[in-house]
């Protein structure tokens, strides 16, 4: 993915090169060990967090890692593998806290999209 206007980024379907992105975004990825916490100031006003499904296809109740998120404009909530949530942080620089709240030795694989 790359911003529209960058060299090699085309706005046509099935084009060569990176997929166009129509808004400012920064993507953060982390592997968060059991019991670990990460705090990240976000530069945008909103975002999206996704906990990667590492346990494979599972049509039943979610298994694996659990993360707890909190921050300005976001009530504390728990997400399990495969879950995602939109985040409304309000002002630039407000921090998002992500904690691996699992009860085992699961490593949480987390993506945070920081959007303007």
Q: What is the pLDDT of residues 13-43, one digit of tens each?
A: 777 877 777 777 888 999 999 889 999 898 8
The CATH number for 99's domain is 2.60.120.10
Q: Residue 29 domain-assigned?
A: yes
| Residue 55 banded pLDDT, cuts 50, 70, 90 | low
Is 7 inside a domain boundary?
Answer: no
Q: Which of 28-37, 51-60, 70-79, 89-98 has the lowest mean pLDDT?
A: 51-60
Res. 57 pLDDT band, cuts 50 70 90: confident
Is it the case that residue 111 has pLDDT exceeding 90?
A: yes
Q: Does 19 reside within a domain?
A: no
Does residue 69 form part of some domain? yes
Is 6 among the domain residues?
no
User: What radius of gyration do the chain's Cα atoms show?
Assistant: 16
Q: Smallest Cα–Cα separation from 52: which of 109, 107, 14?
A: 109
Q: How many domains does the chain have?
A: 1
Rama region for 56: left / alpha / beta (φ>0; ψ in -120 to 50; rest) = left
Tokens of residue 88, six digits: 């409304």
Query: pTM of the predicted model, to two decimals?
Result: 0.77
Q: Which residue has the higher pLDDT, 34 or 10?
A: 34
Say which residue, 46 or 74, is predicted with more confidence.
46
Residue 2 lies in a domain: no
Domain of 59?
Answer: 24-115
Q: Is residue 71 part of a domain?
A: yes
Asked if 35 and 67 count as a contact pair (C-beta separation under 8 A), the reply is no
Report yes or no on 84 lying in a domain.
yes
- Torsion region of 64: left, alpha or beta (phi above 0 gives left; psi -120 to 50 gives alpha): left
Looking up tokens 């046509």, which residue turns up?
12
């Amino acid at each position: 993915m790359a911003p529209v206007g960058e060299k090699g980024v085309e706005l046509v379907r099935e084009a060569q090169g990176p997929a166009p992105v129509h808004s400012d975004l920064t993507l953060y990825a982390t592997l968060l060990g059991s019991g670990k916490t990460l705090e990240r100031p976000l530069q945008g006003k909103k975002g999206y967090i996704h906990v990667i499904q590492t346990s494979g296809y599972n049509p039943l109740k979610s298994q694996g890692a659990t993360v707890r998120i909190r921050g300005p404009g976001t009530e504390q909530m728990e997400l399990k593998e495969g879950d995602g949530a939109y985040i409304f942080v309000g002002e630039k620089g407000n921090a998002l806290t992500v904690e691996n709240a699992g009860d085992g030795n699961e490593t949480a694989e987390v993506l945070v999209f920081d959007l303007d």
